[in-house]
Structure 1
């Protein structure tokens, strides 16, 4: 039975496979062979051209403008990898007690409590945003920015309220 299914599947996919291989052959770039001398000249011209144009050698992140969506994604991933392990969440009351026992001045105590509360509130609200995405809502660019700013605002306000307790 499985042999019959495999054969029928091959016959159904054969026309599409042939079409794909023809497309692949048409889009393939042809490279001409180069001698070692031609290669060194080509490589030298490449670096001289980039130097004259003022291009950095390895741009990596320097060529990208950070956007709200990328910053929130990086922050969320960092929060998941750092804050979700048991060493932080399991000892959260211990951390809070340690901060209170340091007898900081009021502004410094508020800042320390905010530093403990903000990652948790950010993760909570950004998790809700991800749940909305899982349901298929909010994928248009204006919606992404609206929900991003909403997550930031709500997480900061909630963390400030928790830190003020």
Structure 2
């Protein structure tokens, strides 16, 4: 700051800096500000603003080819929601039902659905659990910074899928 004042003093005389108006030279100039009301921008939506600016709409997922990585991510979220729904449904059923769970299992056995149908039902219930479990393990390994190249992501994706299906099959035949 002192450098600025020194340079100003060298260029101008002291009277100009102090504002000597007798000589007509004044370094300090009076400024008047005129107040006016602020312009309030009109509320417009995202789409309206982009159309006015000539921007194209973002493409939807339907134009992209399905990839293993995106499908595994979507399936992981879906299986998490399915497991939550299982938990809520079983909890509410256990709380509201006058019968105990062994009685419900006995009633299911009385339907005589056959071993294949029971195994298919067990697989349907077990697959979201095994998929979410193995994909969660995969994500935990990623958190350590391992297997993050595209080639390794696809390899671990296929490995996780095979482990999930094999585990669900094992659980469904027990």
- Runs of 4+ in structure 1 off by over 6 angstroms are none
Q: Which residue of 1 aligns with 2:134?
A: 125
The structural deviation recorded for 1:61 is 2.3
| Larger RCO (CA under 8 A, 6+ residues apart) | 1
Q: Which residue of 1 aligns with 2:4?
A: none
SS in 2 for 1:65: coil
Call closer, same or farther: CA 1:102–1:73 in 2, change over 3 Å: farther
TM-score by length of 2: 0.54
Question: Which protein has the bigger helix share?
Answer: 1
Larger-gyration structure (1/2)? 2
Trace 1:13-162 onto structure 2 (pairs within 5 A): 60-84=60-84, 86-87=87-88, 97=105, 100=109, 102-162=111-171
Give the aligned length.
114
Contact 1:99 1:113 in 2 (8 A): no
| Residue ranges of structure 1 left out of the alignment (5+ in a row) | 1-38, 44-56
CA RMSD of aligned residues (A): 3.4
Call closer, same or farther: CA 1:89–1:153 in 2, change over 3 Å: farther
Q: Which residue of 1 aligns with 2:34?
A: none
TM-score by length of 1: 0.57
CA separation in 2, counterparts of 1:130 and 1:89?
A: 28
Call closer, same or farther: CA 1:144–1:104 in 2, change over 3 Å: same
